[in-house]
Each structure stands twice: as C-alpha cells, then as structure tokens.
Amino acid sequence: MSVTSNDTPVAAETAAVAAVARPGRRRGFLAGGRYIPYVMILPAAAVLIGVMAYPLFSLFDLSFQNVNRYAQLVNPGLAQYIGFDGYAKVLGDSQFWDVVLRSVYFTVELVVLSMVLGLLFALLLNRVSTWAKVTVITVLMFVWAIPAIVTGTVFRWIFASKGGIVDYVMYLVGGNEAAKSYDWFKDPTIGLYVVSAVVIIWGALPFLVIGLNAALTQVPPELMEAAKLDGASTLQSFRHVVIPVIKPFLVITAALSFIWDFQVFAQIFALRNSAPEPGYWNIGIYLYEKGIVSSHYSSSSVISIAMILLMLAVLVFYIRQMVKIGAQD
C-alpha cells in the first residue's frame, strides 16, 4: 500500500534552494570582482609612487643640508647636514610669513572673484541662443589655450604707463591728461591685487565658465518648476535648488582653484618683466627668488615642503567635503 504526501516535493524544493544559495568554496583570485578596482588602479599608483618617491626624498634630504650653488657645483665637500637649522632659519624669517600671508590673501581674492564671475557667466550662457553659446565657448577655449606667460606679457602692454590701452581709455572717459601715463605697477598693492588678479582671473574663467555651465545643465527642470509653483523667487530657487545640485562641482573647482592660484607664477613673472619686486612676491615667486636667483637650494627646499604641507591641508578639506557630499547622496 503506497502513501502519497506533499513532504517529498517540499523537501526536494528546499534542498534545491539551499544548493543554489550556498556559496562556492572557491571564488577565484579576485574574490568575485571585489578587488578588481584595486588591481586596476595598482599600475597607476605604482607609476605615481615611482615618479614621485625619489624627488620627494631628495627634497626632504636637501632641506636638512646647507647647500648653495657654490657647494653644489664647485666644492661639494662644503655641503653638510645641519638638522633643523634650515627650518628654523626659514620659519624665523619675517619675510617668509609676509609672503605666506600675501599669498593667502591673494589666493582668497582670486578664488572668490573667479568663482562668482564664472557662475554669473555660466548662468548668462544658459540664457543665450545656441549660436551665441557656441561662439562664446569657442572664444573661451581660445583664451584658455594661450600660455600664461603670453597672457601676462600682453596684459603688461595693455596696462603700460606709456601707450597702454587702459590709460588711453581712462583719458577718453575722464579727459584727464595725467591718466595717459598712470603707472599701474608703481604701487604693488594695485599691481598685485588689481592688475595681476585681472590677468589670472582672465585665464581661469574659461575652465570655470564651461565647467559650471555643464554642471547647471544637470539641474532637473522639474525641480525649478516645482519651486516656482511653491512661490519661490528666482534667488530662492537658485539658493535652495541649483546650489545643492551643483555643490559637488563647486567644491571641486574651488579646491582646484585654490591650489592653482596659491602657487601662480608665470603671470606675475611676465607682468613685472622677469624681475618682480618684493611687494609682488607670492609663495611661487618667493621660491623662485630663493632657489634660482639666490641659489639657496636648502632654503628653497624648506619653502617647497611648506607649500606641500599647505596644499595637503587643502586636499584634506576637499576630501572631507567630498565624503560628506557622498554620504548625503
């Protein structure tokens, strides 16, 4: 006599599910794809470490020595290790801190003005016709392609006290004969924070405008329409809708702009005809004056390490902000 029951099919089904759900004993070398990203990035990391390791080691080693051009080229036996005396000499120099503060003030001015102007131009670019947008982007790409040393030289002619275009325009507008020969570079405050800032921002705007314009296209139109239906003004919509959407790109561009502007060199160097006065010295010019002009190689190594540490602080801030944005998303 046979007895039929539903227990047999149920047991078979349970066994089949368990067999499928049970992980295999061997998942392969890459653990099912878990370590593939690390393996793929390993060659780039190895090349980067190989390229940067020796120069950084040499830089730190040189900072603990007393080396100048004579000791390096004529009598290497004079070079000797002096420990932290080189750091004490540089960090105890009031001129070094004046240069650092000037560099920070100048960089903050450049980043704020370039970001604000770049965002305004990007918003304006969204409101023009297609052919006008293409024309403007083409011009911006041309400006971006010009080398910084060439841009600085051209602007030195534009702001020249004899035959400069800016002085002539000021004369036409104001009618003052003295405006024809106004020296924009006599006062380093005006020459650095006005003329040099104009040159650097001019070169930075193409990247910012094109990048911010691309970021603005990622703002969903539905969110803007919903904000208008809720009674939000244009400024409120921009603050509470547009800014949160493009915030990751704003953080990236602000951090990169700070890094680029803090160590700017070519524009100031060209504006002052290859001989910047001390009032124009930022950290990049100061490093050049100490390392190349004065041939104080050890002191310039200490200054370079200080620059690296300052840039690392900016990078830490940037990474923390990106992690926060990623966590919010």
pLDDT of residue 32: 60
Q: Helix, strand or coil for residue 65?
A: strand
In the numeric block, the tokens 């702001």 are attached to: 159
Looking at residue 31, what is its pLDDT? 54
Single pTM value for the model: 0.80
Which alpha helices (DSSP H) does 126-265 contain, by range? 130-145, 148-158, 165-174, 188-190, 197-216, 221-229, 234-237, 243-262
- In the structure, what pLDDT confidence band is assigned to residue 212 with cuts at 50, 70 and 90? very high
Query: Of the candidates 60, 103, 94, 97, which has an alpha carbon nearest to the alpha carbon of residue 285?
Result: 103
CB within 8 A of 80, min separation 6: which ones? Answer: 65, 66
Q: For residue range 241-298, what is the model confidence (pLDDT) as tens digits? A: 899 889 888 988 898 899 889 989 999 999 999 889 999 999 999 999 988 888 888 8
Reduced to 3 states, what is the DSSP secondary structure of residue 168?
A: helix
Structural domains in the chain, CATH included, are 93-328 (1.10.3720.10)
pLDDT of amino acid 159: 94
Question: What is the average pLDDT across 15-30?
Answer: 50
| 308 close to 129: Cβ distance less than 8 angstroms | no
Through-space distance between the first and last CA atoms of the chain, rounded to whole angstroms: 66
- Rounded Cα–Cα distance for residues 106 and 280 (Å): 10
Q: What is the SS3 assignment for 185? A: coil
High-pLDDT (> 70) share of the chain, %: 85
SS3 66: coil
Quote the CA–CA distance of 133 and 304 in Å, as a whole number: 42
Show the CA angle centred on residue 254, arms to residues 252 and 256, nearest 5°.
70
pLDDT at 268: 95
Tell me the residue type at 185: F
> Given pLDDT bands bounded at 50, 70 and 90, which one contains residue 184?
very high
The pLDDT value given to residue 2: 46
Span 44-57, mean pLDDT? 87
